Structure 1
Amino acid sequence: MKLQHNTILITGGTSGFGYEFASRLLALGNTVIITGRNQDRLDEVRVKLPGIHTFQSDVSDSEQITLLFKQVITQFPGLNMLINNAGEMRMISFHDTSIDLHNITREVEINLMGPIRMVQQFLPHLKKQKNAAILNVTSGIALMPFPLSPIYGATKSGLRSYTKSLRVQLKSTGVKVFELIAPGSTTPLNDKFAGIDGFDDKMLMAPAKLIDAAIKGLMKDQLEIYPGLAGVMRVMSRVAPAFLLSQTSKVGAQWIASKN
């Protein structure tokens, strides 16, 4: 895929992967639009990345997605690429009775329902474009359970399955469907794990390096992109899934036990 002269919408673009994508794609000569829930952080990105376009929007709210679509298509009718990046990751113990029935599924609304709704809303427009693409950002955790963040893992596994089905259904259209299977990275998403038993931040990949691999994969039409340790996790999830689960179960084991 050519990554110049596109009009690209990135959800969750104020930090982490979203910000790195925005910076790189803007530098390559694309029109880049980002969304975020916090207007102050969007304003900060506009200062850091002159030329970026921003919209305050929450992917967990279907009405805001509808409004976002109307605003974006009106101002940027040439939109031809959607990057579903917005996400949330929490440490959750099922022993914690303070988490109510609404709160327990918050990551489902953001990480899974958000991308599904975004695609459903923008797909008819994307299908009209000569060259179009959808990139869903999943995780190495989509390949295995991660007991410390069980809802996050479930959402990324679900998004991975959805992405594969979406690719099959769109094979006769001009819309390419990519998946970025991201390994752990030094982003705000992982800051909360600092000091947690069994968590090794030395295993985390620098966001800039990860997005560099993602950009190269997109240019090569690599529909599934596995940067860094994600490639190792892919193999291990096939040949030794029980061993992999035993290792991931060690992360936060003491923290989970403390909540019992």
Structure 2
Amino acid sequence: MELQGKNALITGASKRIGKEIALFLAEKGANIIIHYNRSEDEAEKVRALAEDYGVKAIKIRADLEKEEDINFIIKESLLMFRKIDILVNNASVYYKTPLDDLSMESLDRFYSVHIKAPLFISKSLGKIMFENGYGRIINIIDYAPLRPYRDYSAYIVTKGGLYTMTKVLAKELAPHVLVNGILPGPIIPAEGTEDIEVPLEKTVLKKWGGEKEICKAVEYLIKTEFTTGSFIPVEGGRLIC
């Protein structure tokens, strides 16, 4: 399957992994929608870089913690491109929530971004994909639901929900829409990481993977015709360490 002329929505696409996925798809010929929340300057740079590949690129601001913004990104995406062929649910929040300090408010934030937004965006766009007879939904998850670590309970629990959601949507939207997940490990250091060597101590390959490793997995999950409800670990062997 060629990406030329396909339409893709990538959430959280202004920086880091989302940015690289957006530019990778644009380079392959896909028109892209760059979702962002606060990082407008960065999103505009991604949009301009994407258009250098000769594709159509637009940016949409939406706060995925708000129901009206979730609905807005769905409506605006369809207004701009009429149909979406590829959805990459990449947007994420990541910070410590030690169990003793966990609040309902904090959990709600993780839940909105990792569960509510991906589910309702996938539900709406996935229905249209199904009617059109083609679609790909890719969820950027984490290896952590399979091997949790301490002090990030809200993040890991809700990413675990996204893991399960991937299987649910794969069944609901079969056979026309393939839904899969990617389980990143140490791809690039998290913002604010002081010692970038510490996360590598618990991996087999002992190095940061880089965003392009995620792009390789994305490309496979778009081009495959026989993989759904599955997960690609891109975590340097963390799951076997």
Q: TM-score interval w.r.t. the shorter chain?
A: 0.7 to 0.9
Question: Given the alignment of the two structures, is residue 229 of structure 1 paired with residue 231 of structure 2, yes or no?
Answer: no
Of 168, 173, 181 in structure 1, the residue corresponding to residue 183 of structure 2 is 181
What TM-score do you get using the length of structure 2 for normalisation?
0.84
1:211 pairs, out of 212, 215, 230, with 215
Flag structure 2 segments of 5+ consecutive residues without an equivalent. Answer: none
Equivalence for 1:11 = 11
Task: Indicate how the Cα distance of structure 1 residues 76 and 115 shifts in structure 2: closer, same or farther if over 3 A, else same.
Answer: same
> Could you tell me which of 64, 84, 88 is aligned with 1:79?
84
**C-alpha distance in structure 2 between counterparts of 1:197 and 1:20, whole Å:** 23
Identical pairs, percent: 21
SS of aligned partner of 1:133: strand
Segment of structure 1 superposing worse, 112-121 or 8-17: 112-121
Query: 4+ residue runs of structure 1 moved beyond 4 angstroms?
Result: none
Give the distance between the partners of 1:14 and 1:145, measured in 2 at CA: 27
Tell whether the 8 Å contact from 1:59 to 1:115 is kept in structure 2 after alignment: no
Amino acid paired to 1:153: I
Q: Which runs of 5+ in 1 are unaligned?
A: 237-243, 245-260
Distance apart, 1:133 and its partner CA: 1.4
1:139 counterpart SS class: coil
> Is residue 68 of structure 1 aligned with residue 69 of structure 2?
no
Match of 1:109 among 105, 112, 115: 112
Q: Distance in 2 between matches of 1:52 and 1:150?
A: 36
1:78–1:108 distance in 2 versus 1, CA, 3 Å: closer
Aligned pair count reads 230
TM-score by length of 1: 0.78
Q: Structure 1 230/158 Cα, relative in aligned 2: closer, same or farther at 3 Å?
A: farther
CA distance in 1: counterparts of 2:144 and 2:126, whole angstroms: 27
When Rg is computed on C-alpha atoms for both structures, the one with the higher figure is 1
